[in-house]
Structure 1
Amino acid sequence: MRFELVIILVLVACGIGYVIGNLLRKRLSDSLVANAEGLAAKMIEDAKRQTEVMAMEAAVQAKDAVYQAKEEFERETMEKRRDLQAMEKRLQQKEENLDKKASLFDQRDAEFLKRESGLASREQGISSREQAIGQKEEKVDALIVEQRERLEHISGMTSAEAKKVLMDTMEDEAKLDAAKRIKAMEEEARETADKKSKEILALAMQRYAGEYVAERSVSVVALPSDEMKGRIIGREGRNIRALEAATGIDLIIDDTPEAVILSGFNPVRREVAKLSLQKLIADGRIHPGRIEEVVAKSQEEIEQAMKEAGDQAAFDLGVHGIHPEILKLIGRLKYRTSYSQNVYQHSLEVAFLCGIMAAELGLNVKQAKRAGLLHDLGKAVDHEIEGSHAVIGADIAKKYGESPKIIHAIMAHHEDEKPSTVLAVLVQAADALSGARPGARREMMETYVKRLDDLERIATSFDGVQTSFAIQAGREIRVMVSSELVSDDRAVFLAKDIAKKIETEMTYPGQIKVNVIRETRATEYAR
C-alpha cells in the first residue's frame, strides 16, 4: 500500500511541475514576441528615414548630372560652330583662288590661240624653205658625183683605192703620234712614280747592309786525322749505323782527307749530327750507347739555340707579343737555306727592309716588320707538310692568333693570294729585293748561263736588232738597233715587245730591264 501511495504522490508532483512549466514558457514567449514587435517597428522607421535621405541625394546628383551635361553640350556646340566658321572662311578663300586661276587660264588660252596662228604661218615658211634646200642638196650631190668622176679620171685610181691609200697614210701617222704620246707619258710617269719608288728602294738598300751567303747543301766535319774515320765506322759499322739511326742523317766517309760529309734534307737534323759528331771526336769515346747520349744532348742544345734565335730576332726588330711556338719556328729557319741563302737572315733582312719602306710611306713600322719576319715561316716545316710554304706559314700564323693583315701578307707574298693591302705589296717588294740583290743567292752555273743566252736570243730575234748584251747578272739587256731600220718612235714599241716576249718565255727572279739603244753616226774623212 505504501509503495502505491508513493507512486501516486510522485505522479501528482510530476503533473503539478508540468503545469507550472507550461505557464512559465507561455509568459516567456509573450515577452519575447512583444520585444520583437517593438524592434521591427523601430527598424521600419529607420529604413523609411534612410530611404527618404537617399531619395533626396539621388535627386541632387541627378540635377548635377543634368547641369554638367548641359554645359558639355553647350561647349561642344560652340566648338563645332567655330570649326564651321573656319571651314567657311577656307572655302571662301579657295573659291577666290579658283576664280583667279580660272581667269589666268582664260588669258593663257587666248595667248595660246595667238601663238598657234603664228606657228601655222611659220610652218608654211619652213616647208617652203625645206623644199628649196632639198633642191639645192640634189644639185650638190650631182656636183660631188661629177667632181669624183673627174678626180678618178685625173688620178687614175678608184674611190676605194684612194680611200685605202688615205687610210694607210692616216694609220702610219696615228702610230707615230701614238708612239710619241706613249714616250712622253712614260717619261712623265718615270719622273714622278719611278723616281719616288727608286728613292725608297735605294734608301732601304743603303740603310740595310746584308751579308753575302756562303751556305752549302751538305755539312763537313773536320777530323784530327784519317785514323778517326775507322773509329767513327766502328766494328762492323755499328758506330756509323747507330749515329745514322739516331740522327736520320747519312754519313759519307770517302777518300776526302781528314773530313766526313753529312748529307740530309733536314737542316736541323744535319746540325744535330754535326754537333754530335764534333763532341764524339773531341771526347774520344765512340760507341752506340755514348752516341745516343750525345745525340739526345745535342738535340736539346739545338732546340734551346732555336728558341734563343727566335727571341733574339724579335728583340732586334722590336716586335713583341709573338707566340712562343712561332718564335721557335723562326729560330728553326737558322738552319734552313733557300738557293744557298740562309732563310733566318733573309727573314730579318726582309723585316728591316719592310720597316724602312713603311717608315718612308707613313705606314705602321712594327706591323710591317712583323709581316716581313713571318713571311717565310712555312719554310721551317715545308719538308714535313705538303703545300706551298706561303700557305703553310699563313695557316700557322692563323693558328697562333696573328692578325688578318699579317696572315694575308704571308699568303700573298708569292701570289698564292692576290695582294689586297699595301702591307702585302710591301712584303712582296722587300722579299724580291732581298733575294734578287747581287750575292744574295747562288744559282747553278748552267742555269745562269742559259738564262743569259735566252735573253740575248730573244732580243736578237726582232727585226732591226744588230746586237744585244745581257749585263748586270742577267737583270738588264742592252739592245743595239740599226738607225736606218728602226726609228726613235719605233724603238719604244720594240722595247715593249722584247719585254713582253721575255715575260712570256722565261722564268726569272725580280725584274729585267730592257734598254734599246739607237745611234746615228755620220762619218767623213779629211784628205
Structure 2
Amino acid sequence: MEYILGAVGLLLGAVIMYFVGAGQRKKILEGQSQQDQSYKLEAEKVVSDAKLNAEKIIAEAKLTAEKTFSEFKDKQEEFKQEKIRESREKFQRFKDEFKQEKEDELVELKAKREALKEEQAAMKEERASFKADRDEILKLQEAVKIQEQQLEQRNKKLTEEIERARQKQEELEHQHERFTSELEKIASLSQEEARVRLMEDVRGKTENEAMALKREILEAAKEDAAKDARKVVINTIQRMCSEMTIENTVSVFPLDNDNVKGQIIGREGRNIRAIEAATGAELVVDDTPETIVISSFDPIRREIARLSLKRLVTDGRIHPARVEEVVAKTKKELTQQIMEIGKKTVVELDIHNLPSDLVRYVGRMRFRSSYGQNLLKHSIETAHLCATMAAEMGMNKNQIKLAKRAGLLHDIGKVAEEDSELSHALYGMALCEKLGENPIVVNAVGAHHDEIEMNNLISCIVQACDAISGARPGARREILDGYINRIKELEEIAKKNQGVSSAFAMQAGRELRVIVEADKVSDQHADELSFKISQEIQETMQYPGQIKVMVIRETRAVAYAR
C-alpha cells in the first residue's frame, strides 16, 4: 500500500507541474510574439515523455501493490491456519482430559460395584454362618438334655449303691446282735457289759467300712461326673453367653418417630454403612417401634456411635460426608472427655505424677463394667479402701500413697486398647512396668489374682480390698434384700442338721462355717455332714460361683480355779 500511495503522489506531481509549465508557456506566448515553432514541439515531446513515465510508474506501482497484497493475504492465511491448528490441539487436549476423567469415574464406579457385591456376598455368608451356628446350638441343647438324662441315671445308680451300703450295715447290726448273745453264753458276761464292748468294736469297724465304701463310690462317681460336668458347663455357657453378651454389648437408641429410620438407612443403605464403617459399631434397625439397637463389644465405640447418631438425628442432615465429619468430631470430643475424667479422678484421689497414658486408661474405665459394676467406681472404691487399710496398719505416708495408687490401677488391664492373650492382671502389670510405674505398684497389679508371687505387703492389701469392693452387698448385680435372704437360707440349711450348734455365712456368702458338738458328731461324720450340706445347698439354692462348706468339730474343757 505504501508503494501505491507513493506512485500516485509522483503522478499527481508530474501532472501539476505539466499544467503549471503549460500555463506559464501560454502566458509567454500570449505576452510575446510567437516564438519559434521548435519550442512548441519540444514542449509536446516533454509532455509525451512525462505521460509515458507516469503510465510506467503507475503500472509498476500496481504490480508492487498486487505483490504486496498477495504476500499479505498469504501471511493472513498462514496465521489463520496456525490459529485453527492451535484451537484443534487445545480442543483435542480438553477432549482427552475429559475422556480420562470419565474413564477414572467409570473405574471407580466399577470398584464400588465390586465392593458392594463383596459386601452382599459377605452378608450371605454371615447369614449362612448364623444359620449353621443356630443349628449347632440346637444340637448342643439336645446333647445337653441327653447328658442330663445320663447324669440322672448315674445319680440313681449312686443312690442304689448307698442303699446297698445301708443294707449291709443292717446285716452287720444283725450279726452284732447274734455275736452278743453268743458272747454272753461263752464269756459269762452280762448283756450290758458285752453290749458295750461289742458296740465299741463293731461300730468302729462298721463305720470305717461303710465310710470307705461310700468314699470309693463317691470318688468313682466324681471321676465319671467330672468329664460330663465339663461338657455340661461348656454347653450351658454356650446357651447362656448370647444373653449375657447382648446385655453387655448393646445400647438402645430411642427415636422420636419411625420416619427417621429411613433417613438413617439412606438410599440403598449408604448412610447406615457409612455410620458402621466410621464407628466400628453395628446398627440394628428392625420392626421395634422408635428404637435402634447399637451393638459392639467395645463400650467406647458404642458411645461414639450413640453420640454421633444423636447429633445426626438432631441436625437432620444425614449423608456419608456428614457422617464422617460428625463421627470425627465426636471421637475427638470423647477423647478429650476421657482425659478430663481421668484427670478429675486423679486429682480427687490426690495422686501425682501419673503418666498421661495411664490417665487416659483411667478415663476409659468410666465406659467399662465388670460383673455389672462400673470399673471406674470399683477402682476408686478399691483405692480408698487400700489407703484406709494401709493407714490402719501403721504405714507411712509414702506407702499409703502407693497403696492408693495400686488400688486405682489394679484393673487397668481391663481397658486395653489392643488385643492380648494375657489376663487383665498380667497385661496391666506389663503396661505399668512399660510406663515406668513403681515396682511395688507393678507387683500389686499383677498379683491381685495370685497369678504371680507377691513380694510386698501392699500387694496383699490390694488383693483384699479388691475382694471387699467386689463382694460387698449390691456391688455386682445383687440387691441387699436378695443378699440377706441368701445368707439366711445358707445358715438355716446348716442348722437343721442334727449335732450342729451354730452356722455362719462368711465372705459375702462364698463360705459357710458349721460348728458341731464334739460329743454328737464324730470326725468321720463331720466329713459326711459337710458333703450332705453342700448337696442340699446345690439342690435348693441358686448362687454365683461356688460355696465352700467347712465343718468345725472341737472339744473344749473348761475349769475354774477358785
Q: Which has the larger radius of gyration?
A: 1
* Higher RCO (Cα < 8 Å, 6 or more apart): 1
- What TM-score, normalized by structure 2, do the two folds share? 0.46
- What TM-score, normalized by structure 1, do the two folds share? 0.49
